[in-house]
Amino acid sequence: MSAATTRSRTPDRLCAEAVDLARAAAEEAAAPGVVGEHVGLVSEGDRVVTHFFECKELGYRGWRWAATVTRASRAKIVTLDEVVLLPGPDALLAPEWVPWSERLRPGDLGPGDLLPTDQDDLRLEPGYSGEEEPLPNSVVSHEMAELAEAEDADVTPGTPAAQPTPSRGSIAAVAEELGMRRARVLSRYGLHVAADRWEESYGPKTAMAQAAPATCQTCGFLSPIGGSLGQAFGVCANEFSPADGRVVSLAYGCGGHSEAAVMPKPPQPAPPVIDETRVDPFPLRPARDSGSVPEAGDEETAELGHS
């Protein structure tokens, strides 16, 4: 029979009456003066009752001293089982413990810190490292075996051998040159969460993008990025933009758009016009009477220009 079926919901009378025994036990376990009023009891099972006493200790608001008493079958003497301090329904409790890996926030990583990634990190998936492939010139290489077979066939008269190309070796070499020999690469999930994050900061729904005259897609300051994310994102290279150096959605935009407001060129003054058909008299000395204009043919008048 299970313990649950043997439990009695009605507290044992003798155990329920043993409040003084329970209080004495609680006061013995607690600091002096911190065991308060008897606040209730609960039946734990047949002839097992827990008495609760208010805890008056500062910092343990809502906690209760719990003294469990019991007695043997057909025995009249109640004895102490255990005494513990337990939180009540309105107890002040510490926040639930959260592992460091879940507490970590963007920006927490400082210089010299190491952030390990889980072996089964959903953001990553195995990349093409080439490690599982035998080296192209290895004796166990599949391609080398094919080449050896071809050479064997070549020495057979009348059967020209086709030379297979060691394609996998070539792919590995190209991949290494492009830097693709990584143990893990971004998974589809990793790509999606990165795209969502970037869209949130520099996406079309931001206030900046909503008020922008045009999108980054048509901006001369947008530097394209490679990979599949390059279809939706680029890097802003406008030092006056709030997104300078950031990955921006092609649908983002800001007032620094290269074509939004092209500055007009400063107006150029018109070239001077020289009238070479007229003669302008020019006095060598100022006239005695101010305001008088020297006559043409005057001795003291020189002529500039020519007719």
Residues at the site binding ligand SF4, with contacts judged by CB under 6 A = 216, 219, 221-222, 236, 238, 241, 243, 248, 252-254, 256-257
Query: How many helices, marked H, and strands, marked E, lie in the chain?
Result: 8, 11
- CB nearer to ligand SF4: give 141 or 241: 241
Tokens 């059967």 sit on residue: 159
Mapped onto helix, strand or coil, the DSSP state of residue 64 is strand
Q: Is the Cβ–Cβ distance between 161 and 154 less than 8 Å?
A: yes
- CB nearer to ligand SF4: give 217 or 301: 217
How does 160-188 read in b/e, with b if 16+ C-beta sit within 10 Å? Answer: eeeeeebeebeebeebeeeeeeeeeebee
Q: Is the Cβ–Cβ distance between 224 and 234 less than 8 Å?
A: yes
- CB nearer to ligand SF4: give 71 or 257: 257
Q: Is the Cβ–Cβ distance between 88 and 63 less than 8 Å?
A: yes
CB 244, min distance to ligand SF4, A: 7
CB 175, min distance to ligand SF4, A: 32
- CB nearer to ligand SF4: give 82 or 200: 200
| Spatial CA neighbour of 203 closest among 192, 195, 191 | 195
Q: Is 194 exposed, middle or buried (0-12, 13-18, 19+ CB in 10 A)?
A: middle
CB 264, min distance to ligand SF4, A: 20
CB 230, min distance to ligand SF4, A: 14
- CB nearer to ligand SF4: give 66 or 209: 209
- CB nearer to ligand SF4: give 30 or 243: 243
CB 213, min distance to ligand SF4, A: 9
What the block records as the tokens of 28 is 């013995």
Measured N-to-C along each axis, helices 142-154 and 167-177 cross at an angle, to the nearest 10 degrees, of 140
CB 121, min distance to ligand SF4, A: 31
The whole-angstrom separation of Cα 136 and Cα 221 is 44
CB 125, min distance to ligand SF4, A: 31
| Spatial CA neighbour of 131 closest among 183, 82, 178 | 183
- CB nearer to ligand SF4: give 40 or 213: 213
